Amino acid sequence: MRRRLLLAQSVVLIAGGVTTWVVASVVGPPLFRKHLTMAGVAHGSNEQYHAEQAYQYATALSIAVAITVAALTALIVTIYLSRRVQHSIAEVSAAASAVAEGRYDIRVTPPRLGREFDYLTTAFNQMAERLQTVESTRRQLFGDLAHEIRTPVAVLEAYLEAVEDGVRSLDQPTITMLRDQTGRLVRFSADAAALAQAEEANATISAAWIEAGEIARSVGAAMADRFAANGVALDINVDDGTRLCADRQRLAQVLGNLLDNALRHTPAGGHVTVTVTAAGDEVAFKVADDGEGIAAEHVPHVFDRFYRADLARDRHRGGSGIGLAIVKVLTEAHGGHVSVASPGLGEGTTFVVALPILPPVAARDQSSGC
């Protein structure tokens, strides 16, 4: 690169020098001779000859000195810039190799060679940070998967060994326990598959104009028997005529997950309310319960995969820690956002899903007509 920069500078200098010499040789002498004549110097005299010789020598010397100084300056500037650029490129190249080897904590310092180079290093650092986050999430995901699978598998193995050793008989309680553990595995695999599908929602959202209140009533009716069996009251309050462009199936899944979460953490005699309201260019779906509530330190993490607070997300209640993560993914796939609030333990919890009436083009199916 240094050679190329120096060659480019040399070409510019040579072109400039040749141009200056040609102009000075062709245009300069006639003008100089004209001014000598105007000054009273006779044409063809010795004075004229010596004056023109002096002009030519001075011009040649000036051009030579100027080109020499410009060449030295170009050489110094080329060496300085090439070193800085080469150092920056080498640093980015080494960092890229490190990232390719899995060292996502590497970062590049801005070379301060201009806005473009600063943008390059900023983009590289953002890429490395994103890859580091993805890798951290991947490791945590595999750790969580192993942890979630380990417990039911260990119970199954212990009971099967006990049956083989004759410590336990294959009676109804043992069969019930084995079915409970296999049921947990089946339920967990279904939740994991649902999360994987939800994360592809940007490509699978099929939006159409739907009635927000009708969706809420439909989901509530589907879960009414479960609420009644658990002794929890369910109220649906909606603004009739509120319409939005959304994927009916995905939205029903969001509300179903929120109601399922509220039911699992609201004791018998409790109350769950679903409210649908329109505000500006958004439709808000609020699911509020008066159940166990969430401690303040757990509120920021309730949408994390596999996260459970001691009370708010207890695995013995049948939750896999994926349902609320699916809610977040599907809500954001519609261009919306979800929030949670809880005054504290025993004070209930409120989830609010806010969806735009008309989501971004990326979240709409072009054949839907939204």
> Using one digit for the tens of pLDDT, what is the confidence trace for 140-193?
767 767 766 777 888 888 888 888 888 888 888 888 888 878 877 886 777 677
d(CA 331, CA 345): 26
Counting DSSP H helices and E strands in the chain, the numbers are 9, 7
Q: Which pLDDT score, from 0 to 100, does residue 106 have?
A: 85
Neighbours of 13 (CB within 10 A): 17
Q: Is 190 or 233 the better-scoring residue by pLDDT?
A: 233
Q: Give the model's pLDDT for residue 27.
A: 73
Give residue 26's pLDDT.
Answer: 77
Amino acid code (one letter) for 366: Q
CA dist., res. 351 & res. 312, Å (int): 13
pLDDT greater than 60 at residue 17: yes
In contact, 20 and 105? CB cutoff 8 Å: no
- pLDDT score for 207: 84
Number of residues written out for the chain:
370
Which pLDDT belongs to residue 356? 93
pLDDT higher than 70, residue 223: yes
Q: What is the pLDDT of residue 318?
A: 46
The Cα angle at residue 136 between residues 130 and 140, in degrees rounded to 5? 145
Q: How confident is the model at residue 271 (pLDDT cuts 50, 70, 90)?
A: very high
Query: The tokens of 3 are what?
Result: 């050679």
Q: Which amino acid is at 240?
A: D
pLDDT greater than 70 at residue 219 = yes
User: What are the strands of the beta sheet with 337-341, ordered from one edge?
Assistant: 233-238, 271-279, 282-289, 349-356, 337-341
> Do 285 and 352 contact (CB within 8 A), yes or no?
yes
Backbone φ, ψ for residue 26 (5° rounding): -90, -45
- Can you say how many angstroms the Cα of residue 332 is from the centroid of all Cα atoms in its chain? 12
Report strand pairing: 271-279 vs 233-238. parallel
349 pairs with which residues across the strands?
A: 289
User: What pLDDT sits at residue 308?
Assistant: 60
The Cα–Cα gap between 51 and 45 comes to 10
The model's confidence at residue 326, banded by pLDDT at 50, 70 and 90, is confident
- At residue 316, the pLDDT reads 45
Tell me the angle at which helices 212-229 and 248-264 cross, rounded to the nearest 10 degrees: 30
Helix (H/G/I), strand (E/B), else coil: 225: helix
- For the cut 90, the answer to whether the pLDDT of residue 16 exceeds it is no
Angstrom distance (rounded) from CA 159 to CA 12 = 85
Q: Three-state SS for 328?
A: helix
Average pLDDT of the segment spanning 21-44: 75
How many Cβ atoms sit within 10 Å of the Cβ of residue 353?
Answer: 24
Residue-wise pLDDT tens digits, 65-105: 888 888 888 788 877 777 777 778 888 888 888 888 888 88
347 vs 20, residue with greater confidence = 347
Integer Cα distance of 317 and 33 in angstroms: 106
- Spatial CB neighbours of 81, under 8 Å, sequence gap ≥ 6: 5, 113
Non-local CB neighbours of 89 within 8 Å, separated by 6+ positions = 1
Candidate from 164-178, 315-329, 344-358 with smallest mean pLDDT: 315-329
Confidence at residue 321, expressed as pLDDT on a 0 to 100 scale? 67
Mean of pLDDT over the chain? 81
According to the model, what pLDDT value does residue 3 have? 72
* 296 pLDDT more than 80: yes
List the alpha helices (DSSP H) in 101-171: 115-165
Range name among 148-162, 231-245, 334-348 with the lowest pLDDT average: 148-162
Instruction: Kindly state the percentage of the chain with pLDDT values over 90.
Output: 21
